[in-house]
Amino acid sequence: MFNSNIFTALADPVRREILNLLKKGKLSAGEISANFNLSRATTSYHLSKLKEADLIRESKYKNFIYYELNMSILEELILWFKQFGKEKKNEK
């Protein structure tokens, strides 16, 4: 199963928007911060919450840290949510 922090991380609209930005690919913290009216420290806080929930990964390249979606966790979450969908009834 996935990390218990996932729902807390997803509850915040800024974090959901960060995930939306990362759909396009890897971004540095500065690139993410530039999309919001937030300090870099606040952006860093949101990124740390997303990392704790295992929703994003970080990788270092030269002097920068880049963030990207952790697709395996997101796919697992989608499958988990699907179990609550409507079930098809067998027709005879």
Q: Report angle CA 27, 22, 72 to the nearest 5 degrees.
A: 115
Could you tell me if residue 87 is inside a domain? no
Total tally of structural domains belonging to the chain: 1
Q: Which structural domain, as residue segments, surrounds residue 54?
A: 6-82
Could you tell me if residue 92 is inside a domain? no
Could you tell me if residue 73 is inside a domain? yes
> pLDDT per residue over 47-89, tens digit each?
999 999 999 999 999 999 999 999 888 788 888 888 888 766 6
Report the alpha-carbon distance of residue 9 to residue 30 in Å, rounded.
20
CATH number for position 37 = 1.10.10.10
> pLDDT per residue over 77-88, tens digit each?
888 888 888 766
Could you tell me if residue 89 is inside a domain? no
Could you tell me if residue 26 is inside a domain? yes
Could you tell me if residue 88 is inside a domain? no
Could you tell me if residue 72 is inside a domain? yes
What is the reported pTM?
A: 0.81
Report the alpha-carbon distance of residue 16 to residue 9 in Å, rounded.
8
Instruction: Select from 80, 19, 78 the least CA-distant residue to 49.
Output: 19
